[in-house]
Amino acid sequence: MKLRTIVIGILLTAPAHSFAADTAALTPAGRWTAPMIGNAPTPPMGWSSWNAFRTEVDEDKVMGAAQKLVDSGLAKLGYRYVNIDDGWWLKRRKTDGRMIIRTPIFPSAKAKGKGETSFRPFTDRLHKMGLKAGIYSDAGYNACSQAYDLHSPNLPEGDTAERQVGLHGNVDKDIALYFKEWGFDYIKVDACGLNVYGADREIVKTYNYKPFPPLIDSNYIGRTDVAEVRKIYKDIGTAIAKYNPDGDYIYSICNWGTADVRSWGNEVGNLWRTSGDITPSWTRMLHTFDSASTRALYARPGAWNDPDMLFIGHGDFDQNHLTEARSHFSLWAMINAPLIIGYDLRNAPKSLLDIWGNADLIRVNQDSGGHQAVLAYDSDDVQIFVKTLADSNTKAVAIFNRGLLKADVTLIASHLKMATGQEIRLKNLWSGEQSDFKDEKTFSVAPRETLVFEVTGTRELEGGTYLSEIPGRIHVAEDGVVNPTPDPVVHQMIGQWSGTRNAGERPAYTGWGGAQADVSPYREGLSIAGRGYVSGIGILSNSRMEVRNARQYKRFEASVGVNDSGVNNGQTVRFAVYGDGRKLAETTDLAYGAAAQALSADISGVEVVELVASGPDGQPVTWGEAKLVN
Ligand code: GLA
């Protein structure tokens, strides 16, 4: 294999290449362009009314949960957002469009004297308890309950205009009311208003809703107006920022993985749902988990994949299914999912409180590095996830048995990217038990069990880090995906709403072909001209990644080329490394089958390293063993 290191001197005289791909998106920014929105340096934690009560929410239930958060010590562990979901509203006032609260269920909102309603007394109470308050709205005219919870006693009332409780057309007014006047700290913005209120819908005719030409088709991305959906969410985000000058807010985007939100959610909000709703069913939990678990490179401090709220305490995750409940919690913790409890906490048994209150797992989830766990081993039965903690000598590993048979799972040092022949220490984060091993250790994992360990040992790469170990320091500015395509690796379960009364539901969460840690964009091995790489970044050509070096490491190194899973079409890809906007190293043009070229660049003092691969559309390329070293 011929390796070539290209230094700046050569680059300056190298002929400019002329790929059509040399577009604005590939132009080095010279800085970290991912915005830091609101206040979510770690995944949000708290409680929400939805999974516990659906629309049958009321003040006693919410305050009861809040009190329990404080009394049980969960608040101290980080659960501080107390979020009201759908069901709080009565109507939009005719005269001035002000939103009116349903005071029979929120009595404290009956402001004295003026016949006005206000959530200020409610948020004041939460704030006095050391908690934060969250509210719910929709990006369209109407909300989800107005289409799906028609039996609810808490549906908005009045004529067509009065029942338009969503933000559309009232963004500035509503956001000012919710944040500035009422003092909320968190908003979840749903998207039913953007997809189920087309003029031809029965629901619109029967209930006389104002039609909204659907912008989202949950099944077909081609029928979704991605740019417009993004703009609507972006405009709402701009208003939220405007009415929160101190930046202390959280913006939760809830459009269920549609509209290619995977590629823009992290530039618009703090969390974005990656799938349809979770239900308290094991297979549905797998479904929402899978929609987020292979997207580590799209999340980072301030911006989190959201596989939906916890359903611990219900159905397959109730007190009689503590193995499943612990797995659900472990998995959410590992992939940096928001930890939002969805249970009537007033009656919570100790067995469940102990799960939400697992301080070790919360520490893993809330680790300041913000590195979402990466799959180190993947099969339909067993998955091994590894998460690098901010203290880079420490990791967390989860060994997850998805199936119904006991599994013997061998963990090897290289799953952990730890050195062979050296002692690796484990602490079981459910039992507290300590153990150690060298090279490999086999665990017996019960059906549906997840073992989670904190791991300390000697890193494979002492004094450096593979990029695939630090997804929280990577911003995929352009991933090269031209046609957003549904991700086929998401577990498909029996239809949650319809059972088997159709041919099966086909999740349309686009994201297939996105950037991946340690595998190709299509989850094949990383391999260049027959040489495999255990570590690296797989991405499509026409991509640009920003890596936060923060002047920490001195060199960037990688072996790069077209991945063997690509197409042998003779077209070439060129790889370049930039440091704070300056080109530091570049390959020659590399075709499919060409041996990997070594790229090495001096990045001393560099804040942001940028990795650009330009070439034909859609060719999988590999940044093999891409690393930052001293
Ligand atoms: C949608 C959301 C849920 C919940 C309901 C409320 O289904 O995805 O999380 O907010 O609406 O009606």
Q: Per-residue pLDDT tens for 516-552?
A: 999 999 999 999 999 999 999 999 999 999 999 999 9
- Residue 13: predicted pLDDT: 32
Residues within a 6 A CB radius of ligand 1? 50, 85-86, 144-145, 190, 254, 256, 277
pLDDT of 2 higher than 60: no
Residue 622, burial from CB neighbour count under 10 angstroms (0-12, 13-18, 19+): buried
pLDDT of 20 higher than 50: no
**Atom 8 of ligand 1: nearest residue by CA position:** 277
Q: How far apart are CA 261 and CA 93, in angstroms?
A: 33
Question: Sheet containing 132-138: which strands, arranged edge to edge?
Answer: 304-306, 271-273, 250-254, 186-190, 132-138, 81-83, 45-48, 339-341
pLDDT of 564 higher than 90: yes
User: Could you tell me the two tokens for 428?
Assistant: 């079981």
Q: Which of 152, 203, 261, 277 to mutate to test the pocket of ligand 1 (most atoms within 8 A of CB)?
A: 277
Q: How far apart are CA 622 and CA 540, in angstroms?
A: 8
- Residue 475: predicted pLDDT: 98
- Residue 301 CA to ligand 1 center (angstroms) comes to 25
277 is catalytic: yes
**Model confidence band, residue 179 (pLDDT cutoffs 50, 70, 90):** very high
CA distances from 357 to 69, 73, 343, 495 (A): 10, 8, 14, 32
- Residue 19: predicted pLDDT: 36
Query: How many C-beta atoms surround the C-beta of residue 588 within 10 A?
Result: 13
**Atom 11 of ligand 1: nearest residue by CA position:** 144
pLDDT of 15 higher than 50: no
**Atom 3 of ligand 1: nearest residue by CA position:** 277
pLDDT of 17 higher than 90: no
Q: Per-residue pLDDT tens for 467-487?
A: 999 999 999 999 999 999 999
Q: At what angle do helices 282-293 and 322-334 cross, to 10 degrees?
A: 10
- Residue 189 CA to ligand 1 center (angstroms) comes to 9
- Residue 620 CA to ligand 1 center (angstroms) comes to 36
CB 398 within 8 A of CB 451: yes
**Atom 5 of ligand 1: nearest residue by CA position:** 144
Q: Which of 192, 195, 252, 341 to mutate to test the pocket of ligand 1 (most atoms within 8 A of CB)?
A: 192
Q: Per-residue pLDDT tens for 83-113?
A: 999 999 999 999 999 999 999 999 999 976 6
- Residue 113: predicted pLDDT: 61
Active-site choice (190, 290, 487, 518) = 190
For range 42-68, the mean pLDDT: 98
**Mean pLDDT in the chain?**
95
Q: How far apart are CA 313 and CA 305, in angstroms?
A: 23
H or E element that contains 601: strand 597-602
- Residue 23: predicted pLDDT: 67
User: Could you tell me the two tokens for 316?
Assistant: 């397959």
What's the distance, CA 247 to chain centroid?
Answer: 21
**Model confidence band, residue 16 (pLDDT cutoffs 50, 70, 90):** very low
Q: Per-residue pLDDT tens for 220-241?
A: 999 999 999 999 999 999 999 9
pLDDT of 121 higher than 50: yes
**Model confidence band, residue 26 (pLDDT cutoffs 50, 70, 90):** very high
CB 400 within 8 A of CB 375: no
**Model confidence band, residue 18 (pLDDT cutoffs 50, 70, 90):** very low
**Model confidence band, residue 496 (pLDDT cutoffs 50, 70, 90):** confident
pLDDT of 454 higher than 50: yes
User: Could you tell me the two tokens for 45?
Assistant: 């934690």
User: Could you tell me the two tokens for 355?
Assistant: 């799960």
**Atom 9 of ligand 1: nearest residue by CA position:** 277
List all residues 6 or more positions away from 288 whose beta carbon is below 8 Å from its beta carbon.
274, 275, 276, 277, 278, 307, 308
Q: How far apart are CA 59 and CA 496, in angstroms?
A: 30
- Residues composing the chain: 630
- Residue 392: predicted pLDDT: 75
Q: Per-residue DSSP letters for 15-38?
A: PPP--TT--GGGS--SS--S---T
**Model confidence band, residue 200 (pLDDT cutoffs 50, 70, 90):** very high
For range 601-626, the mean pLDDT: 97
For range 414-419, the mean pLDDT: 97
pLDDT of 56 higher than 70: yes
Calculate what percentage of the chain has a pLDDT beyond 70: 96
pLDDT of 589 higher than 50: yes
190 is catalytic: yes
pLDDT of 115 higher than 80: no
Active-site choice (138, 260, 277, 290) = 277
DSSP tag of 495? B
- Residue 197: predicted pLDDT: 98
For range 204-225, the mean pLDDT: 97
List all residues 6 or more positions away from 551 whose beta carbon is below 8 Å from its beta carbon.
604, 605, 606, 607
Q: How far apart are CA 451 and CA 453, in angstroms?
A: 7
